[in-house]
Amino acid sequence: MLKFVRKRAVASLISLIGLIVMVFFLSRLTGDPAALFLPVEASAEMKEQFRELHGLNDPLLVQFARYVGDVLTGDFGESLRKARPALDVVLEAFVWTLWLAVITMALVAGAAIVVGSLAAFRAGGFFDRLSSVISLIGASVPDFWVAIVAIVIFSVNLAWLPTSGTGSLLHWILPISVLFIRPFGIIVQVVRGSMIGALSSAYVKTARAKGVKSGPIIFVHALRNAMLPVITVIGDQAASLLNGAVIVETIFGFPGVGKLMIDSILQRDFNVVLAAILVTALAIFLMNLLIDLAYALLDPRIRH
C-alpha cells in the first residue's frame, strides 16, 4: 500500500513539475503585468520601476530559478495585485471551492446513483427514458444561463433564496443546484450503464435464487459491483469542480479558486496563478488517491 502511494506520489510530482514549467512560461508569454497594474497614462519610467520592483526585468530563466528556489522553501511569492502572500490568497479561496465541490459531488453522487439504478432496473421503461432525456438536456444547457434564470425565478420573483454571495446556508443552495446539473446528467448515464451490466450478472441471479428482495438486490448486490466505473467518473467530475467553477463563482459572487485563477491571469498576477494551480493539482492528486482507496475498499480483488 505504502509502495503504491509512493509510486503515485512520484508520478504526480513529475506531472506537477511539468505543470509548473508550463504555466510559468506560458503565462509569462501572455503579457506584461505592469501595463495592467498601472493606468494607461502611467509613464514608461513608472512601468519600468514597477517591473524592477517585482523582478520582472530579469531573464525568464533567472526568474524561474528564483521561483523554484522560493517554492522549495515554501514561499510562493506575493500577489502583485493584492500585496499579500499568494498562497494565503489561494488557500482562502480554495476552502470555498473545496466545500462547494465536496457538497455538490456528494449530492450529485447520491442522487445520480439512486436515479441511475432505478432507471437501470427498469431499463427502457418510462422512468428510464425520462431520466435520459432530462440528463441529456441538463448536460447541454449553458450553466450561466441556468444560473441567471434561477436567480430571476427563485430570488427575484419568488424571493425564496438570496441572489448571491455567502453568509448563510441558504446562500449555498443556488450555486450548488446550478453546479449539480451537468455532472448529474453524466453520472446518471454511467450509473445506468454500469448497473444494467451488474443487474444482468450471474451473482444477481444467485441472489434471486436465494430469495433476496429487489431492494437489496439493486442496492446491495449490484450497486457495489457497478460502482467502479461510476467512481472513476465521479472523480473526473469532482476534479473539474476542484479546478474551479468559474462561471458559477463569477455569477454568484462566490469567492472560489476558479474565479481567482481567471481573474489572476486576466491581471497577470502570475504568482497567484501558479499557487492556485499547484494547490488544486495537489488536491486532485489526493482525491485520485482517495479514489484508488475507494476502489480497493469496494472491490477486494483490487486490494493487492
Partner 1 sequence: MKKMLVLGALMLGSALSPAFAGSGPIKIVLPEEADLLEPCMATRSNIGRIIMQNVSETLTELDLRGDKGLMPRLAEKWEQNADGSWRFHLRQGVKFSDGTAFDAKDVKHSFDRIMSDKNACESRRYFGGMTVTPTVVDDHTIDFKADPAQPILPLLMSLVTIVPEETPLEFVREPVGTGPYKLTNWTPGQQIVLTLRDDYWGAKPDVTEATYLFRADPSVRAAMVQTGEADLSPSISQLDATNPATDFSYLDSETVYLRIDHNIEPLNDVRVRRALNLAIDRQAFIGTLVPEGALLATAIVPPPTLGWNPDVKVFPFDPEGAKKLLEEAKADGVKVETPITIIARSANFPNVTEIMEAIQAQLQDVGFKVDLKFVEVAEHEQYYSKPFKEGRGPQIVAAMHDNSKGDPSFSMFFKYASDGTQSGFADPKVDDLIKRASAVVGDERAKLWSELIAYLHNDVVADVLLFHMVGFSRVSERLDFKPTMATNSTLQLSEIKIK
Partner 2 sequence: MADHLLEVRNLSVEFHTAMGVVKAVRNISYHLDRGETLAILGESGSGKSVSSSAIMNLIDMPPGRISSGEILLDGVDLLKMPAPERREVNGRRIAMIFQDPLSHLNPVYTVGWQIREALTTHGANAATARAEALRLLTRVGIPDPERALDKYPHEFSGGQRQRVMIAMALALRPDLLIADEPTTALDVTVQAEVLALLEELQQETGMAVLIITHDLGVVAEIADRVVVMEKGELVEAGTVREVYKNPQHPYTKKLIAAAPGKGEMHVPVARSEPVLSVRDVRKRYGAFEALKGVSFDLMPGGTIAVVGESGSGKSTLARILLRLDEPDGGSALWKGRDLFTMSPAELYKLRRDLQMVFQDPTQSLNPRMTVYQLISEAWVIHPDILPKPRWRERVAELLVQVGLAPDHMGRYPHQFSGGQRQRIAIARALALEPQLIICDEAVSALDVSVQAQVIALLDKLRREMGIAFIFIAHDLPVVRDFADHVLVMQKGNVVELGTVREVFEAPRQDYTRTLLAAGLDPDPDVQAVHRAARLQRVS
Partner 3 sequence: MTLQSTDTAIAEEPGFATRMLRMLLADKFALCAAIFLLLILILAIVGPSWLGDLATKQNLRGRNAAPFDWERGWVWWMGADALGRPLLARIIVAAQNTLMVAAGAVAVSAVVGTLLGLVAGFSSPRVNQVIMRLADVIMSFPSLLVAVIVLYILGSSILNLMLVLAITRIPVYLRTTRAEVLEIRERMFVQAARVMGASSKRILFRHILPVVLPTLTTLATLDFAYVMLAESALSFLGIGIQPPEITWGLMISQGRQYLTNAWWLSFWPGLAIILTTLSLNLLSNWLRIALDPVQRWRLEMKGRNNG
Gap between the Cα atoms of 273 and 30, Å rounded: 13
Cβ proximity to partner 2, 182 vs 221, nearer residue: 221
Instruction: Report the nearest approach of partner 2 to the CB of residue 176 (Å).
Output: 31
Q: Which three cell numbers stand for residue 81?
A: 495585485
Distance from first CA to last CA of the chain, Å, rounded?
8
- Site for partner 1 contains 28 (CB under 8 A): no
Backbone angles phi, psi at 78, to 5 degrees: -100, 150
How far from the centroid of its chain's Cα atoms is residue 271's Cα?
Answer: 21
**Which of positions 130-169 make contact with partner 1 (CB under 8 A)?**
148, 151-152, 155-156, 159-160, 162-166
Instruction: Report the nearest approach of partner 2 to the CB of residue 10 (Å).
Output: 23
**Which of positions 60-99 make contact with partner 1 (CB under 8 A)?**
79, 81-84, 89, 92-93, 96
Instruction: Report the nearest approach of partner 3 to the CB of residue 216 (Å).
Output: 30
- Taking alpha carbons only, the member of 127, 126, 103 closest to residue 115 is 127
Stretch that binds partner 2, among 2-10, 45-53, 201-209, 265-273 (CB under 8 A): 201-209
Among 35, 62, 136, 293, binds partner 1 (CB under 8 A): 35
- Site for partner 3 contains 63 (CB under 8 A): no
- Site for partner 1 contains 37 (CB under 8 A): yes
Per-residue contact flags (x/-) with partner 3 for residues 161 to 200, judged by CB under 8 A = -------------------------x--------------
Instruction: Report the nearest approach of partner 3 to the CB of residue 140 (Å).
Output: 4
Which DSSP string do the residues of 241-261 spell out, in sequence order? HHT--HHHHHHHT---HHHHH
- Site for partner 3 contains 281 (CB under 8 A): yes
Gap between the Cα atoms of 154 and 228, Å rounded: 37
Gap between the Cα atoms of 176 and 301, Å rounded: 36
Among 206, 219, 253, 286, binds partner 2 (CB under 8 A): 206
- Taking alpha carbons only, the member of 287, 155, 276, 282 closest to residue 231 is 287
Gap between the Cα atoms of 128 and 146, Å rounded: 24
- Site for partner 1 contains 285 (CB under 8 A): no
Which DSSP string do the residues of 109-124 spell out, in sequence order? HHHHHHHHHHHHHTTT
- Taking alpha carbons only, the member of 223, 225, 232 closest to residue 116 is 223
Among 5, 14, 21, 32, binds partner 1 (CB under 8 A): 32
**Which of positions 141-180 make contact with partner 2 (CB under 8 A)?**
none
Cβ proximity to partner 2, 225 vs 250, nearer residue: 225
Locate all alpha helices (DSSP H) within 122-153, ordered by sequence. Answer: 126-139, 143-150
- Site for partner 2 contains 207 (CB under 8 A): yes
* Number of alpha carbons in the 13 Å side-chain half-sphere of residue 46: 10
159 membership: H or E segment, kind and range: none
Backbone angles phi, psi at 85, to 5 degrees: -55, 130
Provide the binding-site residues for partner 2, judged by CB under 8 A.
201-203, 205-213, 216, 221, 224-225, 298-301
Q: What are the residues binding partner 3 (CB under 8 A)?
A: 11-12, 14-16, 18-19, 22-23, 26-27, 29-31, 133, 136-137, 139-145, 148-149, 152, 186, 239-240, 243-244, 246-247, 250, 258, 261-262, 265-266, 273, 277, 280-281, 284-285
